[in-house]
Amino acid sequence: MISWIPAAPVEAASTVNATTFGNAINPVIVNIVDPIIEFMFALAVVVFAYGVLKLIWGGEDDRKQAKASMLSGVIGIFIMMAAWGIVYLVSNTVKQF
């Protein structure tokens, strides 16, 4: 009878030490990913503020474009908050091992 389960357990060719991986990935997150997220968050706030200013000082023609800018800014802020949370979760999860 042919068995689909191997007779002896197959071990991985190389094992990864989770602590070493956590120590290696944490500087990448802190020095590269976090500044990118912070910059994109600031950009979303600027887009929202631009929309608010355009809504206040713009004429009737600029009202629709101002609302679109404000909506884009709010969506960008929520996306960056979610990305920040995911990066924080992954970073803390990796550090624990």
How many structural domains are present in the chain? 1
Is 41 or 18 the better-scoring residue by pLDDT?
Answer: 41
Domain assignment present for residue 2? The answer is no
CB neighbours of 56 closer than 8 A, spacing ≥ 6? none
CB atoms within 10 A of CB 80: 20
Average pLDDT over residues 47-73: 92
The pLDDT of 56-77, averaged and rounded, is 92
Is 11 part of any domain? no
| The token pair that represents 96 in the structure block | 């624990």
Say which range, 13-17, 31-35, 70-74, has the weakest mean pLDDT.
13-17
Task: Please state the rounded mean pLDDT for residues 34-56.
Answer: 94
Could you tell me which of 87, 81, 36 has the C-alpha nearest to residue 95?
Answer: 87
The average pLDDT across 58-66 equals: 87
Residue 84 confidence (pLDDT): 92
pTM for the structure as a whole = 0.71
- Share the mean pLDDT of the chain: 82
Range of the domain at 49: 18-96
Backbone φ, ψ for residue 17 (5° rounding)? -75, 120
**Residue 55: inside a domain:** yes
Q: Is residue 60 part of a domain?
A: yes
Q: Given a cut of 80, is residue 82 above it in pLDDT? A: yes
